[in-house]
């Protein structure tokens, strides 16, 4: 009956997390921090009840790794690549070169910190130092996404998109470095089953992890798009279930490649594969995409709650406050936040003429999170709990807690003081997965000098009965109108209207107009769009243009198009029947 108690515990924890999530919106601390606290509380209850410490790192590694697959996949799925394209090069440079550079700098810092501490007994070796640097070097996607969404932080210079793409794609590099240094230490400590590794094998492992991970990610991404566009499923939410299957296979197959082929160095990075697969699927025009969004939004929320709860459960509070854990962890956090991360960011972004305030916010937004602790658990699972000369899990745990509590809580204020908050755009537009929670949509109408409503009372303006003007923005003034309110030229009217729900007959896509795009200088009526395709709006600068035939297309525009979806003959026959 043990599994019944386990199911009861899981159900109770998820329910508690959901109720706690309702409270966190009113607090100024990241919600994920409370889930860790809940896990710590349950761990204390276990000890008080005589059940002992929960130290099953193997089980924790399995639970957290599976949950992390969905978090990373959805990070890719929700990244709006069209929005992030202008900063994609910088984001990928940060996620790979920046992560490796941060790991190296932190490794040096750890080596120095442990040599200076009196209880470290002469310090630790370079490989042990680099393992800590590898584990802690990535920016956590779950934490960054959670704060950007919950605080609605839109940052200037497309910094939100930069952080989203960097944090979503740098876990694979951190994981690869962790795997490499764990393997080197396994040989060094004589762990059973570990084979000797030279410099060539280490380099080969890195190339294998990146190469096969990217190859499988692209392959399964295009395979998923092909299947979802060509085949219909004879079951409800079949497309969503298929996407779940693709995500799991995209992660598992490159990870198992070495075992399948019998060549250990052919293993690819599953996290990289599932992230790339998510980007391709999330930016494709696939059926039932909105259903996928709703499902994965709920699934990843639960996954994040479960990961942080399990990590809290694994932590032992009295271990966290020991000098040999607390002191190096706090020194490591300061070194990472004040020196290593800013140096890596500045060194890579200064050639792109990044502004000082952007460099400051990108550096501060390098939150450590769940991935770092999961990678620490992986290293402990391979090497054993008592092999390393330090408590890796507790040190990383303290760094993550301080990072989320301090950096995460202060990120909105830090961004404001750095004058990095955008004025008009909503950060949620940078996510593919963003959906409003109601069936009412708000539409803005700018009243020009020649607008037919200018100078008239609202009750005499001709508009559909389903439209309601809910606000009038008039300079610095906000007016809640009634029927006798006069509309002035220059007013911005915010109107509410019911959403059109039956979207199965058409899809929406964006066309980014780069500097060499053939549509530059043409009018909308001259674009030669395919039959059933319409340019619905144009994102230009910080605003939106509702186009007509004579509207010019300019460089840097983003054209939002509606395309009529062609039904298969089978679907058409069913519709006629």
If asked whether residues 456 and 532 sit together in one domain, one would say no
SS (H, E, C) 30-57: CHHHHHHHHHHHHHHHHHHCCCCCCCCH
The overall average pLDDT reported for the chain is 79
If asked whether residues 394 and 543 sit together in one domain, one would say no
Query: Residues 324, 330, 334, CA angle at the centre, nearest 5°?
Result: 145
Do the Cβ atoms of 137 and 174 come closer than 8 Å? yes
Q: What is the pLDDT of residue 130?
A: 93
pLDDT, tens digit (0-9, with 9 covering 90-100), for 32-77:
677 777 777 877 776 666 555 566 677 777 888 888 888 888 878 8
Q: What is the mean pLDDT of residues 167-191?
A: 82
> Please, which pLDDT band fits residue 29 given cuts at 50, 70 and 90?
low
Separation in Å, CA 7 to CA 47, 359, 519: 20, 46, 57
pLDDT, tens digit (0-9, with 9 covering 90-100), for 378-417:
888 888 878 888 888 889 989 988 988 888 888 888 888 8
pLDDT, tens digit (0-9, with 9 covering 90-100), for 532-548:
888 888 888 766 787 88
Of 30-34, 169-173, 213-217, the poorest mean pLDDT is in: 30-34
> Please, which pLDDT band fits residue 202 given cuts at 50, 70 and 90?
low
Q: Return all residues near 375 (Cβ < 8 A) that are at least 6 apart.
A: 134, 135, 174, 175, 178
If asked whether residues 551 and 474 sit together in one domain, one would say no
Do the Cβ atoms of 312 and 40 come closer than 8 Å? yes
Helix (H, G, I), strand (E, B) or coil at 200: helix
Alpha helices in 170-288 (DSSP H): 171-188, 199-230, 238-261, 270-282
Of 17-21, 172-176, 312-316, 470-474, the poorest mean pLDDT is in: 17-21
- Return the CA Rg of the chain: 26
Of 262-271, 443-452, 484-493, 546-555, the poorest mean pLDDT is in: 262-271
| In the predicted structure, residue 418 carries a pLDDT above the cut 90 | no
| In the predicted structure, residue 197 carries a pLDDT above the cut 50 | yes
Q: What is the pLDDT of residue 413?
A: 84
pLDDT, tens digit (0-9, with 9 covering 90-100), for 267-320:
777 888 888 898 888 888 776 677 788 888 888 878 877 887 887 787 777 788
Examine residue 435 and state whether it is found in any structural domain, yes or no.
Answer: no
Q: What is the mean pLDDT of residues 16-35?
A: 65
List the CATH number of the domain containing 352. Answer: 1.20.1530.20
If asked whether residues 397 and 462 sit together in one domain, one would say no
Do the Cβ atoms of 309 and 79 come closer than 8 Å? no
pTM > 0.85: no
The number of distinct structural domains making up the chain is 3
If asked whether residues 384 and 520 sit together in one domain, one would say no
| In the predicted structure, residue 438 carries a pLDDT above the cut 60 | no
> Tokens 């005499």 label which residue?
460
Query: Residues 273, 279, 281, CA angle at the centre, nearest 5°?
Result: 100
Q: How far apart are CA 130 and CA 223, in angstroms?
A: 38
**148/361: higher pLDDT:** 361
Q: What is the pLDDT of residue 575?
A: 44
Crossing angle for the helix pair 141-150 and 289-314, nearest 10 degrees? 120
How far from the centroid of its chain's Cα atoms is residue 429's Cα?
14
Determine whether 213 is exposed, middle or buried from the number of CB atoms within 10 Å of its CB (0-12, 13-18, 19+). buried
Which is it for strands 477-479 and 506-512: parallel, antiparallel or unpaired?
unpaired
CB count in 10 Å sphere of residue 230? 8
Q: Of 471, 498, 525, which residue constitutes the final position of a domain?
A: 498
If asked whether residues 63 and 82 sit together in one domain, one would say yes
List the CATH number of the domain containing 469. Answer: 3.30.70.1450
Backbone angles phi, psi at 338, to 5 degrees: -90, -30
Q: What is the pLDDT of residue 1?
A: 44
Q: Of 385, 406, 430, which residue constitutes the final position of a domain?
A: 430
If asked whether residues 319 and 465 sit together in one domain, one would say no
Examine residue 524 and state whether it is found in any structural domain, yes or no.
Answer: yes
Examine residue 370 and state whether it is found in any structural domain, yes or no.
Answer: yes
> Please, which pLDDT band fits residue 133 given cuts at 50, 70 and 90?
very high
Q: What is the pLDDT of residue 570?
A: 44
If asked whether residues 331 and 251 sit together in one domain, one would say yes
If asked whether residues 94 and 156 sit together in one domain, one would say yes
Q: How far apart are CA 389 and CA 387, in angstroms?
A: 7
Examine residue 413 and state whether it is found in any structural domain, yes or no.
Answer: yes
Helix (H) or strand (E) holding 364: helix 356-364
Q: What is the mean pLDDT of residues 466-495?
A: 85
Query: Residues 372, 377, 378, CA angle at the centre, nearest 5°?
Result: 95
If asked whether residues 410 and 461 sit together in one domain, one would say no
**338/148: higher pLDDT:** 338
Examine residue 402 and state whether it is found in any structural domain, yes or no.
Answer: yes
Q: Which DSSP string do the residues of 94-113 spell out, in sequence order?
A: IIIIIHHHHHHHHHHHHHHH
Separation in Å, CA 85 to CA 158, 358, 366: 10, 18, 21
| In the predicted structure, residue 237 carries a pLDDT above the cut 70 | yes
Q: Of 451, 467, 498, which residue constitutes the final position of a domain?
A: 498
Do the Cβ atoms of 488 and 447 come closer than 8 Å? yes
If asked whether residues 540 and 423 sit together in one domain, one would say no
Q: How far apart are CA 231 and CA 246, in angstroms?
A: 15
Q: What is the pLDDT of residue 31?
A: 64
Helix (H, G, I), strand (E, B) or coil at 99: helix
> Please, which pLDDT band fits residue 424 given cuts at 50, 70 and 90?
very low
Q: What is the pLDDT of residue 89?
A: 85
Examine residue 172 and state whether it is found in any structural domain, yes or no.
Answer: yes
Among 76, 74, 67, CA closest to 214? 76
If asked whether residues 459 and 510 sit together in one domain, one would say no
| In the predicted structure, residue 194 carries a pLDDT above the cut 60 | no
CB count in 10 Å sphere of residue 263? 11
Q: What is the mean pLDDT of residues 12-23?
A: 70
Domain that holds residue 483: 440-498
| In the predicted structure, residue 574 carries a pLDDT above the cut 60 | no
Examine residue 192 and state whether it is found in any structural domain, yes or no.
Answer: yes
Q: What is the pLDDT of residue 572?
A: 43
Examine residue 358 and state whether it is found in any structural domain, yes or no.
Answer: yes
Among 221, 222, 237, CA closest to 287? 237
| In the predicted structure, residue 433 carries a pLDDT above the cut 60 | no
């Amino acid at each position: 009956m043990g599994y019944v108690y386990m199911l009861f515990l899981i159900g109770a924890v998820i329910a508690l997390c959901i109720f706690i999530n309702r409270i966190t919106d009113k607090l100024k601390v990241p919600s994920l921090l409370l889930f860790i606290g809940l896990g710590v509380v349950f761990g204390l209850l276990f000890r008080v009840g005589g059940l002992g410490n929960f130290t099953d790192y193997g089980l924790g590694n399995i639970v957290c790794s599976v949950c992390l697959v969905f978090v990373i996949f959805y990070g890719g799925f929700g990244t709006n690549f069209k929005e992030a394209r202008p900063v994609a090069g910088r984001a990928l440079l940060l996620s790979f070169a920046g992560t490796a550079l941060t790991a190296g700098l932190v490794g040096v810092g750890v080596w120095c910190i442990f040599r200076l501490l009196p209880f470290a007994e002469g310090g630790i070796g370079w490989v042990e130092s680099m393992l800590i640097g590898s584990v802690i070097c990535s920016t956590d996607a779950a934490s960054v996404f959670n704060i950007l969404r919950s605080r609605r932080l839109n940052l200037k210079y497309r910094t939100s998109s930069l952080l989203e793409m960097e944090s979503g794609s740098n876990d694979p590099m951190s994981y690869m470095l962790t795997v490499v240094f764990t393997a080197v230490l396994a040989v060094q400590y004589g762990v059973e089953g570990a084979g000797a590794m030279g410099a060539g094998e280490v380099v080969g492992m890195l190339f294998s992890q990146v190469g096969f991970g990217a190859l499988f990610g692209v392959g399964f991404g295009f395979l998923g798009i092909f299947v979802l566009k060509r085949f219909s499923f004879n079951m409800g939410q079949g497309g969503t279930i298929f996407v779940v299957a693709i995500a799991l296979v995209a992660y598992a197959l490159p990870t198992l490649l070495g075992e399948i082929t019998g060549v250990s160095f052919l293993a690819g990075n599953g996290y990289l594969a599932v992230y790339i697969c998510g980007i391709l699927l999330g930016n494709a025009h696939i059926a039932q995409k909105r259903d996928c969004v709703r499902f994965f939004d709920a699934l990843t929320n639960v996954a994040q709650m479960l990961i942080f709860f399990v990590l809290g459960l694994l932590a032992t509070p009295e271990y966290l406050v020991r000098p040999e854990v607390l002191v190096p962890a706090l020194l490591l956090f300061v070194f990472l936040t004040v020196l290593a991360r800013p140096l890596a960011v500045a060194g890579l972004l200064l050639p792109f003429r990044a502004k000082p305030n952007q460099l400051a916010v990108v550096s501060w937004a390098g939150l450590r999170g769940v991935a770092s602790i999961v990678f620490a658990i992986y290293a402990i699972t391979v090497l054993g709990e008592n092999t390393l000369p330090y408590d890796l899990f507790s040190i990383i745990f303290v760094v993550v807690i301080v990072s989320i509590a301090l950096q995460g809580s202060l990120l909105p204020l830090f961004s404001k003081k750095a004058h990095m908050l955008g004025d008009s755009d909503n950060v949620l537009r940078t996510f593919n997965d963003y959906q409003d929670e109601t069936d009412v949509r708000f539409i803005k109408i700018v009243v020009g000098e020649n607008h037919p409503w200018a100078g008239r009372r609202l009750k005499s303006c001709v508009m559909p009965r389903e439209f309601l003007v809910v606000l009038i923005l008039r300079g610095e003034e906000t007016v809640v109108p009634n029927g006798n309110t006069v509309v002035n030229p220059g007013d911005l009217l915010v109107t509410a209207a019911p959403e059109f729900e039956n979207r199965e007959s058409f899809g929406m896509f964006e066309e980014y107009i780069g500097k060499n795009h053939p549509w530059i200088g043409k009018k909308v009526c001259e674009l030669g769009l395919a039959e059933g395709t319409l340019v619905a709006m144009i994102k230009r600068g910080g605003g939106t243009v509702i186009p007509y035939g004579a509207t010019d297309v300019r460089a840097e525009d983003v054209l939002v198009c509606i395309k009529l979806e062609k039904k298969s003959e089978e679907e058409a026959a069913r519709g006629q029947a």
